[in-house]
Amino acid sequence: MKAPATHTAALLDSTHGKPKLLVVDDQPDNIQLLVQAFGGDYQVFMATSGEQALAVCHSDPPDLVLLDVLMPGMDGFAVCRQLKGQEATAHIPIILVTARADAGQETHGLGLGAVDFIAKPINPAVVRARVHTHLTLKFQADLLKKLVLLDGLSGVFNRRYFDQQLATEWARSARSGLSLSLVLLDVDNFGAYNERHGHQAGDDCLRLIAVTLKSVLRRPADVVARFGGEEFACLLPDTSHEDARALAQEMERRVRQLGLPHGSGRMVSVSVGLGTRVSPHNGQARDLLDLASAQLQQAKDAGRGVVRHASLDTTPAPL
């Protein structure tokens, strides 16, 4: 049986290929059996204790957990309870596996939030079928959540999602001390483009620019969003000012290279403003947004079709 819904996984952009399974069992033979059953179509990770399973789920969340109930120390029920009790891991589907299945255990496990219950000895074909079913359900639910956060015209994330991610990444940057960069882009003279070519052409132009911006970014954590009207935002976690500057320049260059005729011999271009938090900053996420906005305005004042950039608590620097 193949991994679930390749097109769905691609839309989610969450598995980067094969879905990730975490197999938790204190018996190596049981783990090996499941690894053999899933190794061809899935990325299989292993844990031999409840504590290790929790650590894996927090450091690199799997798409599904196959969790043995009877383990020394922290048993499967305790692990399930902790995973479902924490926001960061509550969404991970858990299939409980036990050699002593009965109605009471099954009711208890399902009550804790497990999605299924499998009895030992394990039948590989049955386990594969159930994993396939629950992963498909998870990916479909994730996709529906994600669609709510997509911009209907351009296909990239919308302003609501951008605002959420900016707050999240600002807080993460504050904890880790890592840099955070934000790029704002505005399509130059877009009102005139609409008047000359029509609104349908304007919509097509925005879609093409959105695709182009996404093609420049290569890391899963990077976010492209439609900020509003003809403006786009690119949030770049753990990206230095120098690297973000190179990406901003590439975005401006790629849009210009599309060769979309604006009129009077000019091509469609974007003005770009970049702001970076390069060191601990006691302000708020709004400070980074204001900085990028100010740099975008400087790019427009400089004649449009250029990039301007600055870091928080530093002097703006022209390109």
3-state SS record for the chain: CCCCCHHHHHHHCCCCCCCEEEEECCCHHHHHHHHHHHCCCCEEEEECCHHHHHHHHHHCCCCEEEEECCCCCCCHHHHHHHHHCCCCCCCCCEEEEECCCCHHHHHHHHHHCCCEEEECCCCHHHHHHHHHHHHHHHHHHHHHHHHHCECCCCCCECHHHHHHHHHHHHHHHHHHCCCEEEEEEEECCHHHHHHHHCHHHHHHHHHHHHHHHHHHCCCCCCEEEEEECCEEEEEEECCCHHHHHHHHHHHHHHHHHCCCEEECCEECCEEEEEEEECCCCCCCHHHHHHHHHHHHHHHHHCCCCCEEEEECCCCCEEC
Question: What is the per-residue pLDDT across 38-90, written as a single tens digit (0 to 9) for each?
Answer: 877 899 999 999 999 999 999 889 999 999 999 999 999 999 999 999 988 99
Instruction: Give me the sign of the Cα torsion angle 292, 238, 163, 272.
Output: positive
Confidence of residue 3 (pLDDT cuts 50, 70, 90): very low
Contact 37, 127 (CB under 8 A): yes
At residue 39, the pLDDT reads 74
Average pLDDT, the chain: 89
**Amino acid of residue 80:** C
Q: What is the model's pTM?
A: 0.65
260-282 pLDDT, tens digit each: 999 878 999 999 999 999 877 67
Task: Please state whether beta strands 64-68 and 20-24 pair in parallel, antiparallel, or not at all (unpaired).
Answer: parallel
Share of the chain above pLDDT 70, in %: 92
Q: How many CA atoms lie within 13 A of 124 on its CB side?
A: 12
The pLDDT score that the predictor gives to residue 17 is 63
pLDDT of residue 269: 96
Residue pair 120/96 in contact (Cβ under 8 Å)? The answer is no
Give pLDDT, residue 314: 52
Q: Is the pLDDT of residue 4 over 50?
A: no
Residue 122 has pLDDT above 90, yes or no: no
Q: What pLDDT was estimated at residue 275?
A: 97
Per-residue pLDDT averaged across 207-226, rounded?
94
Distance between CA atoms of residues 116 and 178, nearest Å: 40
Pairing of strands 43-47, 94-98: unpaired
Average pLDDT estimate for 127-147 = 90
- Active site members: 230
Residue range 128-133: mean pLDDT, rounded: 94
Mean pLDDT of 231-258: 96
Q: What is the dihedral of CA 237, 240, 243, 249, to 10 degrees?
A: 80
User: How high is the pLDDT of residue 7?
Assistant: 39
Is the pLDDT at 305 greater than 50, yes or no? yes
pLDDT for 13 beyond 70: no
Greater model confidence, 104 or 51: 51
- CA–CA gap between residue 298 and residue 294 (Å, rounded): 6
